[in-house]
Structure 1
Amino acid sequence: MSSPTSAQLLHELHATLTLRKRPEDVARLIQDLYAALGSDLDTATEAALAKAAEHSLRNLWHGYTSMWEEFARPVGAQRQLARAASLFTRVPDLPDDTGDDPARIEAVIRRAGEEIGRAYGQNDFGLDRLNRDERAAAGLGEISKRQYNKRFRLLRRMEAKLARLVHEQRRREVTITGKGAFAHTLPYELFATDPDTAAFIAYVTARGYMRSVFTNGRQRQVYDEVAEALFQRLRNHPERTCWYAVAHVHPTAEVLAQVSDQDLTRLLVRWNGFLRQVAGLLEDAWNRHPLERDTMIVRRGDDSSTWNQAAQAWNTARAHWFALLTELGQDHVLDRICPGKVPRLMAADVAYWHRMSGGGLHPDTYVWAELPLPWEVLRGEKECPRSLVEAVCARYRVDPTAGAWTAARPAVEAVAFRRTPELVHGVAVADPLMASALRSAGVFSGKGKRAAAQEWA
C-alpha cells in the first residue's frame, strides 16, 4: 500500500477543522505531511511532534478512543421528507442530504402546501384549514377530510422540525466557533497555501476543540509547546506564511501585524456579525429562564448547555474583536462600547468543590453581575463605556487589562504538552473501553442508564 501524498495529507488535515480529532492524531498527520514533503524539521519541532504523536491512536495498541471524533450533528428531516414524497404528488423522492438543508426543506413545504391550498406559515389547526366548500373551490374535492388533515398536520410538523433544525445547526456553528474560532470556515485553497501554516492551524484548532474537564481549577490552555514549535516555523519563514489564515484562529499582535488592513477589516466585520448572532442566543436563553447573575450557579430550569456554548462563543468572538480593533488603531471604540465577558454557568457540585478547597466565586463573576447585559449594550439600550468597566473592575480588584475586560488578551506562554484524557461527561477515565461502558451506563451523567450519546460539550 503506497504512502499518502502531501496533497492527500493536506486535505486530511483540512478535514480536521470540522472534526474533533485528538491533538495527538493531528500531530501524527503533521509528521506524515513533513515526511511526504521531505522537509528537514528543526530539532525543537521534531521533538515536540514526536512527544505528541507518541500517544496517537495509530501508535497505541488498542487504536481506539471512546469519544466522538466529530461535533454532534442535528437530526435532519429525511424521515419527514420521505413521508411528504409518499403523500404529495409535487414532492419527488429527494437525496438524503436534502434533509440537512433548511432552504430545500422549506421549498418542499411550500411546494407541497400549494397542493392542498395551504400557504407557508399557516399552522393553526383550527383557523387555517380549509372547510369542505373551500376545498371544493380549490379543486380538492376528491381528497377526503381525513386525507386533507393528514397532509395539513404533516406540513405543520415539518415547519416545526425546520425551526428546530435551524436552531440546532446554529447551535452547532456557535459551539464550533467558540472552541476553534473561524478555523472551520477556512477554504482549502487558503489553508493549504503553505504547509507550515496548515500544520499550525490544524494543531491549534484540535487543541481548541478539546472537551472541558470536570475540575475546580483552570481548564487546559490551548497554546502548548507543540503549537509554539510549529509557530516558530512561521516566524522563521514569514514571507511564505499565510498570516491572514493564521489570524482566523490565533489573533495575537504578532500575527495581526502581518495582515493587511483590508483583511483585518474583513475579519472585524465577520466577528461583529457573529457577536450579534451569539448575543441573540444568550438573550433567548436568558428570557426563557433568567440566571442567578450573582453566582452563575445552575438552578433547576436553566438551559446550561445552550448558555455555556454561547458564552464561550461570545468570549472567543469578543477576544478577536478586541484584538482586531487594537491592531487597526480603532480601540477608541471601546471608550464608548465595551461589552463585558460572559461567564459560564457552574454546576452546584463544582461550586461546592471550590468552596471546600478554599476557593470561591471568580472575581470576574462580580464584574459581570454589575455590568449591563451584552445584548442590551449591542442594541444601544444601555451604555457600557470602558470607563464603567474599569470602575467595576477596580471595585473588585480585578486588573481590567490583564483580565481582558478592557483590552485584547495578553500574549500567553506555551504550556507543556499533556496527553488528552478519555472523558466521560468531563471525568477522566484511564481506559477507553471502560469509558465506553461507563458512558452507556449513564455514569457521571446525573441520569439513569441510557445508550451512549454524542457529546456537545
Structure 2
Amino acid sequence: MYNIQNLYETLNERKRPEDVAEIIAGIIQDKLTTAENEVLEKAAQGALNRSFFGYTSMLESFGEVIGADRQINKALKIFRVQNLSDSDYSKTEGIEQFLYDISPLISKPVGQNNFKTDRLNKTERKEVGLDISKRSYNKKWRLLKRIEKRLQKFIIESKKLEFQKISKHGLSHTINFGDFSADINTACFIAYYNARCNVRSAFTNHSQERPFDEICEMLFNRCRSNEANTNWWAVSHIYASDETLSHLTEEQKGILLGKWTSIIQEIAEFMSDLWKNNDINRKTMAVKKGNDSSTWNNTAGAWNKARDSWMNLVYSLGMEVILDDLCFGKVMRLMAADVVAWHYATGGKIDPDTEVWNKLPLPWEVFEGKAFCNKKLIADICKEVRIDPEKSGWIAPRTHTIAKYKPTPELVHGVMVSNPFMATILKKNKFFSGKINK
C-alpha cells in the first residue's frame, strides 16, 4: 500500500509523526523485530486512518509562495507574444528571465520603475522605434513594473518559507530522491525525524519537547546496525550529530560547512533588516504591537538551527580554534506577553539564555564583522548567569537527549485542544488568536 516515494513526499510536508510512522510500518513492518514493532506502533496506532475522527484541524503542509503566472500570462496577451521560453513562472529565475526577455520590447530597463523619470516621452519612443500610443505604452510599462514588484515580494516570501523549513528540520527538504531511497533504514529515520522536527510549538511556560524521541532512537539504531549501507550524507542534512558526521569524509564535511556558512550569511542579512524594522524589546523579548513575530521567530529558528549545524561541523573537523576569534551567539525568539506573564506568575525569571543574549553583541553583526565576539566572551557571560556554556550549546554542540514519545496534540494557536472537531470550531471563531471575535 505504501512505498518509499510516499515517504519521500513527507519531507516537504507537515504530516503528523503518527501518519509517517504508519507509512514506515507499511514498508518495513515485516523487517522489524517484535520489540522494534512495539516501539513503532506507539506512534503508528495514532495515525489518522486508525483514529475515530480520521482528520486533523492542522495544516499538513508548509505555506506556498505564489509566483507571477497570472500577471505574466496577462502580459503575454497584452504584448501579443508567445511564451518566450519554457521558464517556470513560479520560480525566481523564470520571472527574471521573462522580464529580461519582454522589457526590451518597450525599451524599459529592468529595475528602472520611477513613473515620472524612467518612462520615455513621445519623441524618445519614436527615436527607439516604438510606434505605439502613449496609452498603450503606459499600460505595458505599468504591467512590467507590477511584475517586477511581484518578483521582489516573491523573493522575500520565498526566503521566509525557506527559513521556516530550515528552522524546523534543517536541510531535509533539499535531500534528493536518489540519496533518500538508497537505503530503506536511512529513509525511515529521516522521514520520521523530519516529521517530529516539524511538530508545532505548544503554548507553555516550560521548554518545548525535543524532537528526537524513542522511535527516532529505534530507527537510528537500525542505521547504526547497518552502517555500511546507511547513507550518512543524507542523514547529516537533518541530524548532524557527532556520530553522524564521523561517518562522512573530510570533503563531505567541508561541503556541508560551506553550505551552512552560506545559509548563515543569508539569514544574517535578512535578520539585520528585520531588527531594524521591528522595535523589539531586547531585554524581555516579549512581543509588542507592530512586531512581525512570525517572521522573526522563523528566522531566529533558522539561525539557531544553522548555527548548531555549523558548530557541530567545526568541532567534527577539529577547527574549534577558530572560535577563539569568531563565535557568534544564538538568537532569541519573541514570546507572547501572556506567556511571559505566566512565567513570572509561576515564580520564573528571565530565561538565562535571554540574559546571555542581552549581554552579547548582536550575532549577525558579529558574523558580518561589524562587532567582536569569541568563545571566551560567551563562556564568561554564561558563567555570570550560571549556565554551562557547553551543555547549553552556546560554545559547543548541544547535548543529545532522547524524549519519551507523546501523541501529537491538536493545537489552536499553540493551545492544546482535546479533539480536531473542537479545534476546528475554535479556529473558525478566532479563539486564542489574540483577535477580537466579532
For the aligned pair, the TM-score class normalised by the smaller chain equals: over 0.9
**What corresponds to 2:236 in structure 1?**
247
- For 2:104 and 2:60, the matched residues in 1 are separated by 42
Q: 1:115-194 alignment to 2 at 5 Å?
A: 115-141=105-131, 143-194=132-183
State the match for 1:218 in structure 2.
Answer: 207
Q: Counterpart amino acid of 1:133? A: T
Q: Which amino acid in 1 is paired with 2:200?
A: R
- Aligned residue in 2 for 1:34: 28
1:90 aligns with 2:78: no
CA contact 1:90–1:112 (8 Å) conserved in 2: no
Conserved? CA contact 1:351–1:360, under 8 Å:
no
TM superposition shift of 1:229: 1.0
Q: Is the 8 A contact 2:84 2:101 kept in 1?
A: no
1:64, distance to aligned residue in structure 2 (A): 0.9
Distance 1:148 1:89 in 2: 13
Runs of 5+ in structure 1 lacking a partner?
451-457
How has the CA–CA distance of structure 1 residues 445 and 91 changed in structure 2, closer, same or farther, with 3 Å as cutoff? farther
Residue identity in the other structure for 1:100: S
Give the superposed CA RMSD: 1.7
Aligned to 2:416: 428
Match of 2:99 in 1: 109
Among candidates 296, 303, 308, match of residue 319 of structure 1: 308
After TM superposition, the score normalised by the length of structure 2 is 0.96
Query: Does the CA-based 8 Å contact 2:84-2:98 persist in structure 1?
Result: no
> 2:43 aligned with 1:61, yes or no?
no
Aligned positions, number: 438
The 10-residue stretch of structure 1 (61-70 or 330-339) with the greater mean CA deviation from structure 2: 61-70
- Equivalent-residue separation in structure 2 for 1:157 and 1:173 (angstroms): 24
Is the 8 Å Cα contact of residues 82 and 93 (structure 1) preserved in structure 2?
no
The alpha-carbon deviation at position 199 of structure 1 amounts to 0.5
**Deviation by residue 1:53-90 (Cα, 9 ceiling, x = unmatched):** 11101211332111111100112212211221221123
Q: CA deviation at 1:94?
A: 8.4
Cα distance in 1, alignment partners of residues 231 and 339 from structure 2: 42
Question: Greater CA deviation, 291-300 or 123-132?
Answer: 291-300
Q: By how many angstroms is 1:91 displaced?
A: 4.9
Residues 91, 112 of structure 1: 8 Å contact kept: no
Shift of 1:440: 2.4
Q: Which residue of 1 aligns with 2:332?
A: 343
Equivalent residue in structure 2 for 1:447, among 428, 432, 435? 435
Which digits, 9 at most, give the CA deviation of each residue in 1:271-324, with x for residues without a partner?
A: 111111111121110011242211111122222111111110111111111111
Q: Which moved more, 1:174-183 or 1:249-258?
A: 249-258
CA distance in 1, matches of 2:278, 2:367: 21
Does residue 409 (structure 1) correspond to residue 398 (structure 2)? The answer is yes
Contact preservation (8 Å) 2:278, 2:290: yes
Equivalent residue, structure 1, for 2:89: 99
CA distance in 2, matches of 1:438, 1:51: 28
Cα deviation for residue 448 of structure 1 reads 4.5
What's the secondary structure of 1:72's corresponding residue?
A: coil
2:419 corresponds to which letter in structure 1?
A: D
Matched, 1:269 2:258: yes
Note if contact 1:204-1:222 (Cα within 8 Å) is conserved in structure 2.
yes
Following superposition, the deviation at residue 112 of structure 1 comes to 2.3
Distance in 2, matches of 1:196 and 1:294, equals: 45
Instruction: Write the letter of the residue equivalent to 1:127.
Output: T
Assess if the C-alpha contact under 8 Å between 1:67 and 1:423 holds in 2: yes
Distance 1:102 1:237 in 2: 41
Distance in 1 between the 2:84 and 2:128 partners?
Answer: 25
CA distance in 1, matches of 2:429, 2:152: 32
Map of 1:455 onto structure 2: none
Q: Which amino acid aligns with 1:112?
A: I
- Match for residue 382 of structure 1? 371
CA distance in structure 2 between the aligned counterparts of 1:364 and 1:170, rounded to whole angstroms: 27
Measure, in 1, the Cα distance between the counterparts of 2:8 and 2:275: 36
**Residues 202 and 411 of structure 2 are in contact (CA less than 8 Å); yes or no, is this contact kept in structure 1?**
yes
Answer whether contact 2:181 2:187 (CA < 8 A) is retained.
yes
In the other structure, the counterpart of 2:356 is 367
Identify unmatched segments of 5+ residues in structure 2.
none
Change in CA separation of 1:68 and 1:351 when aligned onto 2, cut-off 3 Å: same
Once the two structures are aligned, what percentage of the paired residues are identical?
Answer: 41
Whole-Å Cα distance in 1 between the matches of residues 437 and 66 of structure 2?
22
SS at match of 1:428: strand
Is the 8 Å Cα contact of residues 200 and 231 (structure 1) preserved in structure 2?
Answer: yes
Pick from 332, 351, 356: which aligns with 2:321? 332
Which residue of structure 2 aligns with residue 204 of structure 1?
A: 193
Question: SS in structure 2 opposite 1:423?
Answer: strand
| Alpha-carbon offset, residue 269 of structure 1 | 0.9
The one-letter code of the counterpart of 1:108 is F
Distance in 2 of aligned mates of 1:20 and 1:100 = 21
Partners of 2:83 and 2:90 in 1: CA distance? 17
Q: Which amino acid aligns with 1:34?
A: I
